[in-house]
Structure 1
């Protein structure tokens, strides 16, 4: 029934879309890190061109794909590890879901500025062994306590000691700044955390595949002029996001 209602809604939409005069509402479901990393890059452009549209946003959850399929949200922005066990494969998206990759990012590590490991690695290389010897703080994403990184390490016979699991990135960065726990996270969000907390960034001490931020929508909206404008504006704006090397 929700899908049928959404189809009927699309029939009632005008064949053209004028950002300057539109009063349409668009809804987004986004991973938390996208609010700092991506939203600032496109929300200003959207509202400057279309000052009377309404943008409603919600956190990305395990139900967000279902919400996209049933027309309860218009767009999703998800950050996904490009790993077979991450649960996200652009070739195996739920039925009817379209996607556009916005950009790729790498994982990095944060520790507090006076963390003992910083003195240790002054005299030796920063290695996987050092990394695994530390205690970790982890962000719980979509209700899951393991990331693709954990599956990757498990395949190699390793396991991180995760002493604290928190629901959001800012909470994890704060915990990291006030303990000896190490925090592994996307570099694009790390740059924001470094401005707020007394933290030092370290590279991940081993090769690991990148992650990607992906824009998602349902195919029923492919020809919707308003949706097309939103997608094009987001994709063009996020191309200007500068990531650390």
Structure 2
């Protein structure tokens, strides 16, 4: 391949196809007609001697060759853009913009209040739209669709160049019961734990969580009295009953009635959970989005 004979517009077309997974949307993004984008895809296939994108019910699926090319091409285009396009100045104190943020329940409970406070102080002209995120890869679908600019949650299972992630927050599991619980007055060993009824938070309705997996390795089971998809009600529910719940420490500490709870280390080994900031590569260089991602990361660090 003669590099100097390569039309760099084809690389821009490839980058748009990789992000949008749709010929029509990629054409709109680049500013060409749909037939012109289809022709560019044909030329790309000849250039790289690979199909690159296969049609499916979910849109264009990149081949492994396309996935290998995605990040080097995207990085090269970003460097070209930085060299030829003046970087706009962004002043959050005077800017007016709207940011769409996807949040799982946990960051909505422990991170959102501080984030909104900081946003109102530093960017009073900004608006924040919060979208609920449930499944592990739901954020990816919302990012691909352009419904959100970023998300905070568990890292997605999908790994390719269009979705970028950054770990910003970690928390450990604790077991909570109401303060003065007669069965837990001497601590929380495994036998005490298994004698209790439990609350399980399961966004997708699965009745076999991380605790149950750990117990299964010991040949033990617990009694699940309540399974629910949201975590907000759990601390208050535990404070008013003799049930127990195993959840992340900040959920207990940020609950309204945390003074009514006794907090113990779980009697089974559970790894800490990391939460990531997740965003689409198409917004990676956007000044307002860059600023707000740094604000989110800073607020998470302050926790």
What TM-score does the superposition give when structure 2 sets the normalisation length? 0.66
1:25 to 85, 98, 106: 98
The Cα of 1:152 is off from its aligned counterpart by: 3.0
The Cα of 1:184 is off from its aligned counterpart by: 0.8
The Cα of 1:220 is off from its aligned counterpart by: 1.3
Matched residue, 2:4? none
Q: Which structure has more helix as a fraction of its residues?
A: 2
Give unmatched runs, 5+ long, in structure 2.
1-16, 32-80, 82-86
Deviations 1:192-225 (A, max 9, x none): 2263562211111233210112111111111111
2:180 to 114, 121, 139: 114
1:73 to 148, 170, 190: 148
- Are 2:298 and 1:240 equivalent residues in the alignment? no
Matched residue, 2:34? none
Contact kept in structure 2, 1:41 and 1:237, CA below 8 Å? yes
Deviations 1:117-157 (A, max 9, x none): 223x2xxx632232123210111224444333332333333
Contact kept in structure 2, 1:108 and 1:203, CA below 8 Å? yes
Matched residue, 1:83? none
Contact kept in structure 2, 1:127 and 1:206, CA below 8 Å? no
Bigger shift: residues 66-75 or 35-44: 35-44
Distance 1:94 1:182, change over 3 A: farther
Matched residue, 1:85? none
The Cα of 1:95 is off from its aligned counterpart by: 6.0
What TM-score does the superposition give when structure 1 sets the normalisation length? 0.80
1:205 to 267, 276, 280: 267
Structure having greater relative contact order (Cα 8 Å, sep ≥ 6): 1
Root-mean-square deviation over aligned CA pairs: 2.8
Alignment of 1:186-201 (within 5 A): 186-193=248-255, 195=257, 198-201=260-263
Matched residue, 1:163? 225
Q: Give the distance between the partners of 1:153 and 1:221, measured in 2 at CA.
A: 42
Contact kept in structure 1, 2:150 and 2:279, CA below 8 Å? yes
Q: For residue 170 of structure 2, give the secondary structure of its aligned residue in structure 1.
A: strand
Q: Give the distance between the partners of 1:175 and 1:15, measured in 2 at CA.
A: 50
Q: For residue 233 of structure 1, give the secondary structure of its aligned residue in structure 2.
A: helix
- Are 2:118 and 1:45 equivalent residues in the alignment? yes
Bigger Cα Rg: 2
Matched residue, 2:73? none
